[in-house]
Amino acid sequence: MKKKMLSNGEISAFCLGLSLLIHSGVGVGDGLALLADEETDGQYREMLTELANSADNGVSLADAVKQCGRFPDYVCGLLEVGERSGRTEEALSALARYYEDRARLDHQVRSALLYPAILLIIMLAVIGVLLIKVLPVFNEVYAYLGASLTGIAGGLLSLGRALDAAMPVLCVILGIVVLFLILFAAIPSFREKLTGAWRSRMGDRGVSRKINTACFAQSLSMGLSSGLPLEEALTLAGSLLDSVPSAKARCEDCKKRLENGESLSAAMKASGALPNAECRLLEIGLRSGTGDAAMEQIARRLSEESETALEESVARVEPALVMVTSALVGIILLAVMLPLMNIMTSIG
C-alpha cells in the first residue's frame, strides 16, 4: 500500500523542529525521538519513531527519510548532500523555509480558485431564482392587467421555464460541482493531481510562470546555501518542475549553457530561467563573492512578486464576477419593471 505523502506544512514543521534540536547539540536520533514524544497524531508519531530507530541503528537521515516513503525526492536529495558536506542543519533549515513558502503559496492558490468558484455559484443561483420563481409572478401580474411579457422579458421568461423543466438535471450538475469543490478543498492528493494536470498543459503562463520561476529560484537558493554544487543544485531545482515541461526545458537549457562554459548569470538570462533584472543582480553578487546571498534575495523578491500577482488576479476576478452578475440581475429587473411602470402610468 502506497504511503500518504506529507503535506508541505508537515515537512516544514519536521525540518524546522529537527534543525533546532540539532543546533542545540542534540543528535539526529535523539532529536527524532524527542519529536515523536511531543507528537499527538498516532501515524505521524509512528513515522518519527521509525526514523529515530533507523538513525540509532546507523542509517543516515537521508536514507531513513527515503526508506520512510513519505517525503518528496527533493527532501531526500538535499539531506543527502547536506550530510555529505557536514551541513545537515543548514539543509534542514533551508528545507523548512522552502516548504513553509510552498505551504503558504498552496493556500493562496486554493483560495484563488475556490472563492471565485463559490461566488459564481451563488450569483448563478440568484439569477436562477429570478428567472424560475420571480418572473412567473410578474407574468401573472401582467396577465391580470391584460398584458404579457414580451421582448427581452418574454425571452427571459421562456428561459426560466426551460430551466425549471430541466431542474432535476441542473440539481445533479450542481451537486457534482459542489462535490468537486469539496474534494478540491479537503483532499490534498486530489488537488495536487488536478493542479498537476493543469500545470502540465497550461501551467507556464502569466501568474503561473511567475510562481514557477519563484519556485525555481527558491530551490536553487536553498541548494547553494546548503553547500550543493551548482550543477547538482540546478538538477534538484529542475526536478521540482517535472510537471511543467516548458519550465523544465528552461532549466535544462540553463544547465547545457553552463556546461558549454557560459557564466551562471548569462546562462540564466539566455535560457529565460530568471528575469533579466534578477540576472544582473546575480552577476553583481557573483562578482563580489556573495552569490549565495544574492540568490537568496532574488528568491525572496520573486516569491513576493508571485504572491502579489496572485493576489491581484484574485482581486480582479471577484469584482468582475460581482459586476457581471449584478448587471444581469439589473437587466432582468428593468426588463420587467419598466413595462409594468408604463402600464401603471396608463391606468393612472
Q: What domains are defined for the chain?
A: 8-100 (1.20.81.30), 105-348 (no CATH)
Choose the weakest-confidence range: 155-159, 227-231, 256-260: 227-231
Cα-based distances in Å from 213 to 11, 109, 270, 280, 293 = 22, 15, 14, 16, 18
Nearest residue to 240 via CA among 265, 213, 266, 274:
213
Please, which pLDDT band fits residue 340 given cuts at 50, 70 and 90?
Answer: low
**325 and 258 in contact (C-beta within 8 Å)?**
no
How many residues are there in the chain?
Answer: 348
The answer to whether the predicted template modeling score (pTM) of the entire model surpasses 0.85 is: no
**65 and 76 in contact (C-beta within 8 Å)?**
yes
Of the ranges 187-201, 223-237, 256-270, which is most confident? 256-270
- Number of other residues whose CB lies within 10 A of the CB of residue 66: 17
Cell 551562471: give the residue. Answer: 264
pLDDT of residue 1: 45
| Alpha-carbon radius of gyration of the chain | 28
pLDDT of residue 342: 64
C-alpha cell at 34: 524527542
Q: How far apart are CA 118 and CA 101, in angstroms?
A: 26
Per-residue pLDDT tens over the stretch 55-90: 888 888 888 888 888 888 778 877 877 777 677 888
Q: pLDDT over 70 for what percent of the chain? A: 85
State the number of CA atoms in the 13 A half-sphere of 242 facing the CB.
7
Between 109 and 298, the more confident residue is 298
pLDDT of residue 200: 60
Please, which pLDDT band fits residue 124 given cuts at 50, 70 and 90?
Answer: confident
